[in-house]
Homo-oligomer: A and B are copies of this chain.
Amino acid sequence: MPVGTQATVKAMTPGELREIGFGLILGNTYHLHLRPGEELIARAGGLHRFSGWDGAMLTDSGGFQVFSLSGLRRIGSDGVQFQSHIDGSKHEFTPESVMRIERDIGADIIMAFDECAPYPCTYEYAVEAMERTHRWAERCKVAYEGFDRLAAGGWHQALFGIVQGGVHRDLREQSANFLVGLDLPGYAVGGLAVGEAPEQRNESIAWTTALLPLDKPRYLMGVGTPIDILDAVERGIDMFDCVLPTRNARNAQVFTSAGVLNLRNARFAEDFGPIDPECDCPVCARHTRSYIKHLFKANEILGPRLTTYHNLYFYHRLMADIRAAIRAGNFREFRDEFTRRYRQDPETVEGDVLKNE
């Protein structure tokens, strides 16, 4: 899923997302609640109509943003009081209010309100955050069923639960078992990509997916680089969202089959080749690294437009290739070959994993 924080995938039109082939995009409940507000979105006919996107949508629960973006906050058993990062105004998220907000926004998939514990944190805090997440998930389910599982606009919504538990095997297992017991339409693995080592993340994913039902989607939140995605798919993950392709694009970082390049680099000034010679996207068909470097140097909007389009195309292609490889039964070979080529260019720089726009 491309990330459409404020009712737009930054620098893209809905038509371009369709053209690339995306069917599902993400919106951020925290941001949309603050601006323009879920009441306005509901009056516009829901987020799909408000933003002109005719595909499917998912909204996160706002939990991650409340903990990472907002000002002074107070966590209680009932919910979280916080201050807007935009104007300092005071707000409160409870499981019930988040369900109401997500109902009004009207995405097809909505996420239960959770607490994403920081990394590192004590084992005791990880337990506390996990248990709060479980109690909140139960309350979310009650609220969701109280709305007959329907968005304000009348269509069906699927509530996904979020497994927490940090990097601790016993907690991940306890959390997965608890949430599976709620019999929700899908499950997410939360609380990762917050600073832990890749090995810790991969283990935590594997402990969790081992307990999630095979017939329901498994969604790893906020991950990641192409290599991270391959690692997670190998461990049973089906769905991803990440700002990496879009945010890095706005810093002139592009994904190519040979790794990540930063087009601000002086060596691209007179490089009249495409971003990625292996890519068949319209940006690579028409524009050169030299031109895009110029656009970034001149602060032209077309710069981030072109790199965002290309990066999303690259990620979409990666996911399509992964699905094809799984169907063909040669995922491991695909992963090894992709990884070998992706790391061959010694001058590439791997982008930082940044979770939210």
Shortest distance from the beta carbon of A189 to any chain B beta carbon, whole Å: 29
**Any B CB within 8 A of the CB of A174:** no
Complex Cα gap A13–B283 (Å): 10
Complex Cα gap A272–B36 (Å): 14
**B-contact bits for A276-309, CB 8 A (1 contact / 0 none):** 0000001000111011001101101110111000
Would you call A302 and B12 a contact (CB within 8 A)?
yes
**Any B CB within 8 A of the CB of A332:** no
Complex Cα gap A302–B8 (Å): 7
Would you call A50 and B290 a contact (CB within 8 A)?
yes
| Contact flag A44-B290 (CB < 8 Å), given A8-B295, A15-B282, A295-B8 | yes
Complex Cα gap A45–B272 (Å): 10
Q: Mark out the residues of chain A between 247 and 290 whose CB falls within 8 Å of any chain B CB in the assembled complex.
A: 269-270, 272, 282, 286-288, 290
Would you call A291 and B35 a contact (CB within 8 A)?
no
Complex Cα gap A11–B306 (Å): 10
**Any B CB within 8 A of the CB of A70:** no
Would you call A7 and B294 a contact (CB within 8 A)?
yes
Complex Cα gap A10–B8 (Å): 19
**B-contact bits for A67-105, CB 8 A (1 contact / 0 none):** 000000000000000000000000000000000000000
Would you call B52 and A286 a contact (CB within 8 A)?
yes
Q: Which residues of B contact A15 (CB under 8 A)?
A: 282, 286
Would you call A6 and B290 a contact (CB within 8 A)?
no
Shortest distance from the beta carbon of A35 to any chain B beta carbon, whole Å: 6
Tell me the dominant secondary structure on chain A's binding face: loop
Would you call A301 and B10 a contact (CB within 8 A)?
yes
Q: Which residues of B contact A294 (CB under 8 A)?
A: 6-7, 35-36, 50
Complex Cα gap A295–B13 (Å): 12
Shortest distance from the beta carbon of A154 to any chain B beta carbon, whole Å: 18
Nearest CB to that of A43 among chain B residues? B270
- The tally of residues in A whose CB lies under 8 Å from a CB in B reads 37
Would you call B40 and A269 a contact (CB within 8 A)?
yes
Nearest CB to that of A299 among chain B residues? B6
Shortest distance from the beta carbon of A133 to any chain B beta carbon, whole Å: 29
Shortest distance from the beta carbon of A225 to any chain B beta carbon, whole Å: 24
Q: Which residues of B contact A356 (CB under 8 A)?
A: none
Residue of A11, A15, A270, A286 with most chain B CB atoms under a 10 A cut-off: A286
Can you name 19 extra interface pairs (CB under 8 A) apart from A8-B300, A14-B286?
A6-B294, A6-B295, A6-B298, A7-B295, A8-B298, A8-B302, A13-B306, A15-B286, A35-B294, A36-B294, A36-B297, A40-B269, A40-B290, A44-B272, A44-B288, A45-B272, A50-B288, A50-B294, A305-B305
Q: Which 6 A-B pairs have the closest CB atoms?
A: A52-B286, A11-B301, A6-B298, A8-B302, A36-B294, A8-B300
Can you list 24 pairs linking A and B with CB atoms under 8 Å apart?
A: A6-B300, A7-B291, A7-B294, A7-B298, A8-B295, A10-B302, A11-B305, A14-B286, A15-B282, A15-B286, A35-B298, A36-B290, A40-B269, A40-B270, A43-B270, A43-B272, A44-B270, A44-B288, A45-B272, A50-B288, A50-B294, A52-B287, A301-B301, A301-B305
